[in-house]
Each structure stands twice: as structure tokens, then as C-alpha cells.
Structure 1
Amino acid sequence: MQLDLKKSLFVSVAVLGFVAAVGGLGAQSASAKSRVKVTSNKALRTLPQSRNVTFTGDNALFTKAGTLRGAKKVASTATLSGLANSSLSTNNVRAYRVATTSRGSVYFKVVTFDKQYRGWIYGGKSIGEFAGGLDQFKTFDINTIDTLSQDQLNANYKLANPGTANDGKTVTYKQPLYTQYKIGRAITDSTPYADKIFKIDKVGNRTRENDRWVHIYDINNANSPAAGWILMSGLKMTVQNPIADNAIQINLVDPDNHSIVVKTFAYTRDGAQRGTFFGTFANNTWTISSEDQTNITAQIKNALAGTQYELNNLSPAQLADIGATKFGYSVNVVVNKINYNGGGSNNNSNGNGGGNKVLPTTDKFSTILPYAGQIGQSNETRHLLTPVKDGYPDTKIVYTLPKDAVYVDHPAKGQASPTNNTIKVSPSDIDTNPNIVHDWLEGLKNNFPDTDPYIQRTEAAKSIDAKLETQAKTQYRLKNQNFKGFVGTPGNKFTEKQLMSYIQGTALKSLVSPNYPGLSSDSTQPEYIGSLADWNKVEYQINTTDSGTIGTPVKAYYDIVYPDN
């Protein structure tokens, strides 16, 4: 018993000594962490694709820089190793902020493409490269087009399973699914394109799945919204020649780029046989009958109605091209661009002369007015979009703190106070100073009992963030859109379908909001509340239009779409 008691005492003393030693180390560590400060925190501005990364598994993911007091673990090194070895592109990672500490360590803020993991991770000692817990990562590998067989390259395709599924093989994408952060679908419903004919012009493989993706385009509409990326398995080969045996297909093409097919139509003749010539060859010249010439010219004018193109008469060279075309085949006819702003003219390459017709801008077009709203929202309640220059707008939002706001006893200059309770700030201001809102919010008191100690600041940051987003949804980036390009004869009526057809073939089919800032409102990271977290945008996709009369403005209605996968 005596011996056992001594052993017990010895073990107890040893354990107590170990605990004391560990406690001392913990105190030193806490003290060390308390001395570490963030000396820089800013958004990354390099090309988005250069900020695609993967985890190395050497460092864990935290709510803030891991050496800062209060940092909480978001994901362990084992979890991150699993994500790094994943065969799913949803586990690709984007870095979007970088911070340095007073010890010279660099931390990157990252998010997985499925948004399941977001936080800060050690990234080495240089802001110019990814190290430590991150490696740069290529999410998609473009192959040379000759990796396709000649049959695949020459083939025409249709969508195998038209519909709305977001599965990589039903709709098309601006980039292959989950290979670029927040860049999603080109179209959300492929049903209207079920009968369209496509060809392949690019091919590649996603890194994680190693599945084959191809980029397709509509052979009859170079501006088709459905052009984009899709899994090879989402396509089916079609009959190579869809032109009827007793018809010729007339492709109306752009004068500057003959690969752009503006419109196409079939012209048939009863009893004609595939492979026979449409016209007559005599005296070394191809000709067509006056009846065919009149009918074809009328169909061309009808096809070009409401576009930025016209062709009032067929030139001798164009008549010869049509005459030399065999039934069952197609012919390109170059048309003229309408220069509604005035100025010079350009003759087309087939010698049709006259070039671009100069139209007065007061009565030959209908100005298209873009209205936007949520999907399913009635057209009557949608709001008019206003144009802003590309970049970060300088239009300011105004936010006033609640009357019951509680302020620090001695706010510094520029901080919120009873006499400085309103902030006016624009995206441009935040681009110049990412901490402008954060610095103002520093004037609000913290440490409220029985609630979130930073509730005043987080609620104000959320309200300002919401106002910036709401403002962006009333604006679109002004680039090369032409809202006065829908032309025709003054007073002529046009239908919704005609206007929609025009818009779908131009840059007006999809508009983009200006970049707007997302502000941090995470109370677990009080040092960042109100600071710039990331830049966002929304897209506007054409939904429907009104009908109208050439010469009077007409409304086009867009759905607000958040760009993601």
C-alpha cells in the first residue's frame, strides 16, 4: 500500500507538471497570437483563371489568418487533402483576397466552386505566388481540334436531350461546368434549339473528371445564344445534308465576315431533282428566270425585315451564283449593312453597288428600352435599366444609421457619430478604399450583452451591402450594344416574335450589371466588418418584348440571373 501511494503521488506530480508546462506553452502561444496583426488585406485583381488553385493538404483552412487570436478551423488538412484529390470539379477552388501579417506571412481567402468551404489559408511568404497550403491549378485543358476524328469534325450535330437539366449534357455553358467560378450556363433551356444544327469548333477535357467537352455553334446563326460548351455525350450526329432535293438554300451573309449567316431560307421548285442546276447557262453566263428573280428578291427582303441588313436588288454576280447552284445545295448571298447613323457607304463584294443605305435616325428605327425583374415577375412591375460606363460606377448609395444607434465615446474623425450618422458611398469609392465603410462603422459601439457584440456594425454592413446590390440591379454596363438597330419602314407594325428574333441575334440578348462590392458582415471576423469581401454582378437575359410600330420606342423585358453554375 505504501508503495502504491508513492507511485500515485509520483504520477500525480508528473501529470501536474506536464499540465503546467502545457499551460505555460498555451499562454505563450496565446500571447504570441495576440501580438500578430494584419498589415494588409486586399482583393486579388489578377485574371480570374490565374487564381484557380487546389489545396496541398499541408495547412488547414480557418475563419481568419490561422495565427490571429480567435481563428477557428473551417476544414482540417485531411479534409483539404480529400478535396485536392477529388474527381469532381465542384471541388475546384478560387482565391480572391490576400492578407499579410506583421510576421510577414501571407494568407489567401478562398472558396470552393460549390461554396461549401470558404476561409483563409496560409499561402507562404509572397503575395505574388501560391505556396504553403495552395498550388495553382488548371481546371480545364484545351486540346487541339485535330484530337477529333475527321468524321467528328465534319459532322453536323443536334442536342441529344433538349431540356433544362443542369447536368453538362442538356444545356450549353459559357465555360465547361465548374471550371471557372461563377461562370455558368449560356442558356437555361435548350428546348427551343432542339432542331438547330451545330458544328464543333473547340474541344477539351476537365482536369478532375477527364471528360470530353466540345464548343458548338449554330451553322445557320452565328449569334445564336445556344453557342457554348457541352459534353460530347450531349450531342447526336445528324444527316449531313438537310436541304430538300427540290430546293436550294440561300444563306444571307454579312458583308465583312461571310461566316456570319444573318438569315437563311429555302427556295423550292416543284419537280426539281437533286444535283441539277437551278439556272440556265448560255453565252458563258448563268441566268435565272425573271419570276425566280422577283420571288427570291421578295423573300430576301422579308427575311431581312427588322435586321440591320438589306438587299433591294440582286447584282449580276449574285444572280450568276444562284443560277450555278445545284438543287440540294446552298449558296451565299452577301447583303448590305444599314448605316442608320449616316456616313459613308460600303459596296458589297459581289458588285451590288450602293453599299450601306443611309437612314435618318429620327423615324427608321424603334429604340429598345430594357426593363428588368426577377424570373416570373410581371412585365408591368419591372424597372427600366440605366446605362453606366464599364468599370466601377460612381453613383452613390445613401445609408443613415437608426435613431437608436449607440456610438463610441470619442469617435475619431470620419467615424460614425451622432453628427456623422449618414454615409454616401459608391462602388468607385470602395474600389479606391476597400475599408471606407469599415472605417466609418468603427464609430459604433460593441460589446452588447446577451446578443452578438458586433450586431450594430454587422446589421449596418448588411444594409449598405443590400443597397449597393439593389442599385446595381437598376444599371447595365454600356459597351457596344445598339438599342437603335431595329429598323424598318416608319409606321409599319412589328410583332413580339420579330423583335425577339432580332434581339436574339445581337449583343442585346444578354446584358450585364456593373460590378458591385460585397461587404463582409461576419461577426466572427470583426476586424473585417464592412470591408470589401468580393466583387459581384448580375446578368439580364432577354425574356420577352412588346410588339410595336417602327419609329416609336418599344420595351424589352429581361430576367435577372445570378451567374453561377
Structure 2
Amino acid sequence: MKSSLKKSLFVGLAALGFVAVAGSANAQTASAKSYAKVTSNKALTTDATTRNVNVNGTNAIYTKAGTLKGAKVVATTTTTKALANAQTGKANFRAYRVATTNRGSVYYKVVSFDKQYRGWVYGGKSTSAFAGGVASYATTKDATAPASTNTYKLSSTSTTANTTLFKAPVWTQYKVGRAVVDGKTLTSTDAYKDAVLTFNKAVTTSREGDTWYQVASVNGSTTNGLVGAWVKASDVTQTNPQSDTSVRFTFTDPSGNVVKTLDYSKANAKSGETLGSLTGTNGNYSWSLPTGVATDLQSKINATLNGTGYSYNVSANESTLAQAKAGSTVTLPVTKGDVVYQTLKPYVATKDDVTSTHLLTANSKSAGAFFKGSFKEGDQTIDISQLVHTDDNGNVQSHSNSLPAVKTYIDGVTNNKDTALANLNNDVKEYAANFYLAPANISTSDLFSGTKGSAFSSQDVLNYLAKHSTLNTLKSAIYPVFNADGTVKEWDQLNLNATSANSGTFGSSPVQVVYTYGDGSAVSDPFSATNNGSSVNPFE
């Protein structure tokens, strides 16, 4: 009896052991099948500067695609989140390979600019754009360059090191370092201790917030090997500083050569204050100078240009001069006759109907980059301004992703809701097309000018605009594209292209320019967009 019991127990335990082993084997097989496989692994070949990216903390970085067998963590989500918010360019990343798995997932191989982190990060479900745990990243933002008449010197130099002059602002491009002059890396800066520099471009680094200048000339030469190099604004000293309460007027001849320079201050001037003011009568606004300022400025300009054979008429250019700000430099071209700036008056029309035009208006500063109009769709008021709230300077304070009024309107449509939605979105686009963002990088010397009384053709106007990309193609205010439930599908913006203009006479009334547009394009990061164009504007 005991023997039989033992045998029975033994067989039972053996059977259980077999089940356990079989279960373990099956579990291992299932686990092995759960891993993804790579179906494509390619090098990225687009321009390297377009592959600067930032991790965002939603995904970790692995030694291989995270769902592959054997993938190990290089940087946790805690680390990638810290890198995303780091205030040093060392945390910038460059993407250089892309892989796709049999599950349709995309992974990018990335490396930090300081080479401390290298590995694969989840990039969404499409190779057409960075997504998932990584996003395109601009390592710099455009800044205002010093006036071309301002001159500078390096604040300090060294006979043994170069920590000042670089091929690109530090940590803004991967593996790009010190400046290269005549084919050789610059290892010391002593050769430039007395060099007089001018700059023609400026950027601010996105993480540190440092401003950098690009060298335009060295001791007056634009062919010097150092031209094109970058230096941090804090590492140079201006040699001809102007008072922040004065406007520096630089008078240039038709060849661009400087004839004379005048620093002018009005009484009790403050930094950043304009010489004149914007005033309006019956809804018509224009810039003007106080009588005393106009008279005094004309007297000082006459004295400055005395003996040069050149003259400049203040009253003919009052609108431009009134907008000049204390602390800025304004270039004024002069000829042997009176030069005047011709004001342009922009209108807008669709590319399909250029005969129906509407006045094109500058988007207000407080609206920022966004269309904030309100209109009726049927019996429903659609108030776009409810979506984005901005301060007086146009900076976004808060925003919403839905507008209940749109849902209410669509829900009330009994037939063909798709057509109703399409019509509503088209109406939003057409209203937004009536507003443009202030064009950037326009100085007084870029205005449409000529001798007073001389004629210009419509083609002359179009040729002028073609030379200035930010005037030839204006950007509309950013506007929403809605889904039927009132949520915002995307934020779009129009390119407004100059297509026709009237002829006229310099010094006469504003000349009409017609801009046309087609379909809008999605704006990837609308809430960081700005409406901070140049203070000088050729449009009425």
C-alpha cells in the first residue's frame, strides 16, 4: 500500500514537472515572437542642418530600436526630458539614420552634439517627419544685426588659443568648431587684435539665449578670410558707439558709399522712442514729425551735406523719418536731386479672381501672428479670437483647440454637412487673407525710392518687390482649419504673392500693388510665431 502510494505521488509530481517545463518553453517561445524586427535601416542623406533635433522626454534612447530583442537603455525618459529643457547647446541632437520595424514603427539614430548620448529613439509611424520622442529643432533664431556702419573690435585676443571666432555659433551645428581662415583652422586670435570688424547677420542661440554676429568685413575688406566667421556679441566692443537717445542717419550715394553720417536727437528723447508719431483723422492714419523737429532736422541735414553736392528733403520723406527710433541707425540714399520714398498700397485677391480685390491690412501688434476676426456663418457668430489669447505685444498667453460655435453651426445643418464645413473653412481663409504680418529685414535703404516727379512703370514696382523676398511674398495672419466637432484640425497660413501693380510718379499718392494667394499651408509650431517685423514699412 505504501509502495503504491509513493509510486502514485512520484508519477503525479513528474507529470507536474513536465507541465511546468513545457509551460516554460512555451512562454519563452511566445516571448521571442513578441520582439519586433527591423525591415529597413538607412542613412539619412538630406542636408545635415535640417536634421538638428530635440528629444522631448516621451521616449527613452536605446542601443537599438526599443522593441528589438536586446535593446538597452542609453538615456531614460527622465534624462531625455532633462535634455529637452537643457540650457546648453551640448544637448542638441543630430539625426543620421532611420529604421522601420515590421510593426510600422520608425526609429531614428541620434547623437548629442557633445557626443555623450548616442542611440535610437522612437520617431512615430512615418519617415516623412520627425515625431514620437524626437522633433525638428532650430538651434538658433534670427536676431537683429548691428547697423553696417557700426564698427567693432575683439574685446580680447590670445597668441595661444582661439575661444572667440567660430565657423558657426558654438554648439549650434554638430562637429562644427573654430573658424577656418585660408584653409586652416584658426588656433589663435592675436592676428586680429587691432582688426576693425562689421557684421551683417545676427542670431540668438535657442538654448543659451546668446547673441552671435557674423563677420561682414575686416578692416573694410569683404574678401578677408575671416569674413563669414561668427563671434559672440559679448566678445566684441563697438568702436563708434552712438547714444541710445539719438538716431544715426547714414547718407549714401547711388553706389552705396557713405557720404556723411549724422547723429540726431530730439529734445528729451528716450531710448527706442520714434522721432514722430502716428496720428489719424477720420480713420486715416499717417506718420508725421512735430514742426519743430522737422525744421531742426532739415537744418542739421543741410549742414551735414553742405559742400557734398547732395541734398535731402525732410518734408518729402516725413513718414519714413518719423518712424526712426532713438538708438537705431537709418540709411538714407541721396542723389544730386531730391530723393523720395514711394509708398505702396497693398490689395489682395484670390489667384482665381484677380479682378475682385480687397484692401490688405497689417495685422495688429496685439493680435500677434493670428487672425482674430469674427463673422457670421448662417445665423451663427464665429469668433476666431476666442481660440488664441495674446497680450498687448502679441505674445501668446493661452490657446484653445476647439470653438463650440463651429460645432453648433455644423450640428444645425440638415443637409450636406461636409460641404457646410468646407465652406466655413474657406470663409475663415478668405477673411484671414485680408491681413498680413509685418515684413522683416526691411531698412530705409530698401524702400522704393526715386527722384521726385520722375515716372515709374508697373514693372518697375514688381522688379523692386522681387529684390526683397519679404515684400514680394507676404505672410497672411495664421488661421484655424476646423473639424466638424469644432476642434482645430490644423493652423494654416497663406503666401500672398505680388502679381500686379500700377504705374505712377515718385512723390505722388500711394501706388496699388495686388497680391494673390492659393491654398494655405500648415504651420508646424503656430504658437511660437511672431509678428515682429521691421519698424520700416513701405506700405501705407
TM range (shorter): 0.3 to 0.5
Higher RCO by CA contacts (8 Å cutoff, separation 6 or greater): 1
Which one has the bigger strand percentage?
2
TM-score by length of 1: 0.36
